[in-house]
A and B are shown apart, each in its own frame.
Chain A
Amino acid sequence: MTTTRAEKVRDAAYRMRHHILDMGEVQGQGYVGQALGVADLLAVTYVDQLRFRADDPHWPERDRFLLSTGHYAIALYAALAEAGTVPVTELETYGSDGSRLPMSGMASYTPGMEISGGSLGHGLTVAVGMALGLRLKGREQRVFNFLSDGELDEGSTWEAAMGAAHHQLGLLTAMVDMNALQADGPTENVLGIEPAEEKWEAAGWFTQRVDGNDIDALLAAFDAAAEQARPVGRPSVILCDTRIGRGVPLLETREKAHFMRIDEDEWQLCREQLSEGYEGAR
């Protein structure tokens, strides 16, 4: 029996969620909720879509993946561990002094981390430059930028959105984590961004919106984006509605918080719930 693409992604996402919980426990808190929410999205990217060499993060022919939301580093470390770029045994150093895995993702610390995120609204501007530069050099490499719905507040994101469409950067794909939550509360109360699809379409992007925790839907959306990716063409955005804490009912149902507090005795329960859910779905 062959393993389907979706199964490969689902298994990877499951292991990544365990990595995320393990790293979260080291710190006792953190952006665990968001990371669990985007595990499926990053699993699709790293297992199914991105062209890279795990043992050679500077391989010149690689596609670029830019993590704009530096605080989601915990999720990307899980993906890099799953990919083999970062040893799984190193994850326990997350956020510790001297670690290559700081709380906020920085290129100078971690293999496979292309840019230093953290100050939001930067990633898409850098992605535009990379896509322009790679095209000038005659390369057909794709550039993926991961950003969050909160980053759609930033004017610079829309400068970049217009710039990408104007320059017809058809190999640029943005994926937006629409988790509907930002630092001060629900996105709709902080600065309403809906209707988000219409905004991206108006900016000139090939726009799709999917359930960001539905792996089949994600694969279909990424395939559709890949299908029309070409050096001169429309840039592509995939708006992914995700659920904070996805895969761990205890956290899915907890009051939504940007920086989720998890008690010491809850981590094991989280792991058990994650495993039960995964086994139950098989």
Chain B
Amino acid sequence: MTTATKRLTTSAMIASFADPGQRTTSAPFGHALAALAERDDRIVGLTADLGKYTDMHVFAQAHPTRFFQLGMAEQLLFGAAAGMAEVGLVPFASTYSVFAARRAYDFLCLDIAEPNLNVNIVGGLPGLTTGYGPSHQATEDVAIFRGMPNLTIVDPCDSVDIEQAVPQLAAAEGPTYLRLLRGKVPTVLDEYDYTFRLGKAAVLRDGADVVFVSSGLMTMRALQAAERLARHKVDVAVVHTPTIKPFDAGTVLAEVDSDRLVVTLENHTVVGGLFETVASAVVSRGLGKRVVPIALPDEFLAAGALPTLHERYGLATDTVVTKVLGELDR
């Protein structure tokens, strides 16, 4: 009799990318928004039938009269958010990133970004954070949004980033897009001397051999890979750039402009995201510098269990370590 190995399953729409035993914080976005609303009565929350799946339900429970359910109607969601901002409110409007970026683009662009309204777009399941397949995997959301004038794009790493970002997004004058991490979100950055500052990158650790430039959950993987690479006598610096646009080229290029191997890490297709943002900054500065991308491939991704997919498409810590050692001929 043979023992069958149980295959991992997709399990749910929203899979956790936290490692077993990792410290997490529950629904950091929902709690941060609810807390902010206590001291700022302009804050309102909207969703398009995805309150429970974007942690907006936490805000809804805390401030029921300031929560608006728009139904499964993303064009209405963002048009209405614009209308609320027009009358002086500060809306946070949540749906999945795929629906914000692909389905409601025209409404974000013309009703929100063109008049430069303070509407904060909250997109769940950014990049590869669900095993559900291309319908829900927003692998190209940053590429879609980067061309939109006035829009600030934030790709937080963990619960610390999200908690600190929410008030700053509300305080920023124009529109923002937050690549939401929801549910039990890893808590990582409190172990570093770090504070989220909108529009700023931060050097989380120094290293003599390699520079990682990363955003989103890939900063967590970058930090893990840096630890692992130290065992191989490879000294890795990590620069976290949670704001993709406007991009803090000053901080990033100060690190890139060296003899070290430069690697970008992003939870997004290699087209139009962090890699190309860094590459264009490098070229614009006139630096003749090679940049190695770690990103999702330019293809529609498979369905499956998230750990399997992160391994297959190169976002897992193991594959990052292997890739860097290969680049260094170790």
Using a CB–CB cutoff of 8 Å, the interface residues on chain A facing chain B are 107-108, 114-116, 118-119, 121-122, 124-134, 136-137, 155-156, 159-160, 162-163, 166-167
A and B contact pairs by CB, cutoff 8 A, 16 listed: A108-B115, A115-B115, A116-B110, A116-B114, A116-B115, A121-B75, A128-B76, A128-B79, A129-B80, A129-B87, A130-B83, A132-B80, A133-B83, A136-B89, A137-B87, A159-B75
Known: A116-B110, A156-B107. A129 touches B83 (CB 8 A): yes
Q: B32 contacts the other chain (Cβ, under 8 Å)?
A: no
How far is B84's CA from A129's CA once the two chains are assembled, in angstroms?
5
Which residues of A sit under 8 angstroms from B147, Cβ to Cβ? none
How far is B76's CA from A166's CA once the two chains are assembled, in angstroms?
13
Q: B98 contacts the other chain (Cβ, under 8 Å)?
A: no
> Among the listed A107, A118, A134, A159, which residue makes an inter-chain contact with B76, where contact means beta carbons less than 8 Å apart?
A159
> Among the listed B66, B71, B81, which residue makes an inter-chain contact with A129, where contact means beta carbons less than 8 Å apart?
B81
- A130 to B76, Cβ gap below 8 A? no
> Among the listed A126, A136, A160, which residue makes an inter-chain contact with B66, where contact means beta carbons less than 8 Å apart?
A136
Which residues of A sit under 8 angstroms from B84, Cβ to Cβ? 129-130, 132-133
Q: Which residue of B lies closest to A125 (CB)?
A: B79
Which residues of B sit under 8 angstroms from A160, Cβ to Cβ? 73, 76, 79-80
Interface residue ranges of B52-105 to A (CB < 8 Å): 65-66, 68, 70-71, 73, 75-76, 78-89, 91
Chain A facing B: main interface SS: helix
Chain B facing A: main interface SS: helix
Q: B111 contacts the other chain (Cβ, under 8 Å)?
A: yes
> Among the listed A122, A128, A129, A132, which residue makes an inter-chain contact with B110, where contact means beta carbons less than 8 Å apart?
A122
Which residues of B sit under 8 angstroms from A128, Cβ to Cβ? 76, 79-80, 83
Which residues of A sit under 8 angstroms from B44, Cβ to Cβ? 133, 136
Q: B276 contacts the other chain (Cβ, under 8 Å)?
A: no
Q: Which residue of B lies closest to A161 (CB)?
A: B76
- B110 to A114, Cβ gap below 8 A? no
Q: How large is the interface on B (under 10, 10 to 19, 20 to 34, 35 or more residues)?
A: 20 to 34
Q: Which residue of A lies closest to B82 (CB)?
A: A126
Which residues of B sit under 8 angstroms from A133, Cβ to Cβ? 44, 83-84, 86-89
Which residues of B sit under 8 angstroms from A132, Cβ to Cβ? 68, 80, 83-84
- A137 to B88, Cβ gap below 8 A? yes
Known: A116-B114, A119-B106, A159-B75. A126 touches B87 (CB 8 A): no
Which residues of A sit under 8 angstroms from B71, Cβ to Cβ? 159, 162-163, 166
- A122 to B107, Cβ gap below 8 A? yes
Which residues of A sit under 8 angstroms from B82, Cβ to Cβ? 125-126, 129
Given A115-B86, A118-B110, output 4 extra A-B contacts at Cβ < 8 Å.
Answer: A107-B115, A126-B86, A126-B111, A132-B83
- B86 to A114, Cβ gap below 8 A? yes
Proximity string of chain B (27-53) to chain A, C-beta cutoff 8 Å, 1 when within and 0 when not: 000000000000000001000000000
Known: A130-B87, A133-B88. A125 touches B80 (CB 8 A): yes
How far is B42's CA from A136's CA once the two chains are assembled, in angstroms?
10
How far is B70's CA from A200's CA once the two chains are assembled, in angstroms?
18
Known: A129-B84, A162-B71, A163-B73. A136 touches B65 (CB 8 A): yes
Known: A116-B115, A122-B107. A159 touches B73 (CB 8 A): yes
How far is B44's CA from A122's CA once the two chains are assembled, in angstroms?
21
How far is B158's CA from A191's CA once the two chains are assembled, in angstroms?
48
- B79 to A129, Cβ gap below 8 A? yes
Which residues of B sit under 8 angstroms from A125, Cβ to Cβ? 75-76, 78-80, 82-83, 107, 111
How far is B107's CA from A125's CA once the two chains are assembled, in angstroms?
9
- B87 to A134, Cβ gap below 8 A? yes
Which residues of B sit under 8 angstroms from A137, Cβ to Cβ? 87-89
How far is B73's CA from A159's CA once the two chains are assembled, in angstroms?
6
How far is B107's CA from A116's CA once the two chains are assembled, in angstroms?
11
Which residues of A sit under 8 angstroms from B89, Cβ to Cβ? 133, 136-137
How far is B76's CA from A105's CA once the two chains are assembled, in angstroms?
21
- B115 to A156, Cβ gap below 8 A? no
Which residues of A sit under 8 angstroms from B106, Cβ to Cβ? 119, 122
> Among the listed A115, A131, A162, which residue makes an inter-chain contact with B111, where contact means beta carbons less than 8 Å apart?
A115
How far is B66's CA from A270's CA once the two chains are assembled, in angstroms?
53
How distant is A126 from chain B, measured CB to nearest CB, in Å? Answer: 4
How distant is A273 from chain B, measured CB to nearest CB, in Å? Answer: 38
How far is B86's CA from A61's CA once the two chains are assembled, in angstroms?
13
Task: List 6 tightest A-B contacts by C-beta distance, closest first.
Answer: A129-B83, A125-B79, A129-B80, A159-B73, A156-B75, A130-B83
How far is B262's CA from A269's CA once the two chains are assembled, in angstroms?
72
Which residues of A sit under 8 angstroms from B65, Cβ to Cβ? 136
Known: A125-B76, A125-B80, A162-B73. A130 touches B110 (CB 8 A): no
- Which of B80, B83, B88: most chain A Cβ within 10 A? B83
How far is B66's CA from A136's CA once the two chains are assembled, in angstroms?
8
- Which of B70, B75, B87, B111: most chain A Cβ within 10 A? B87
How distant is B227 from chain A, measured CB to nearest CB, in Å? Answer: 47
How far is B65's CA from A130's CA once the two chains are assembled, in angstroms?
16
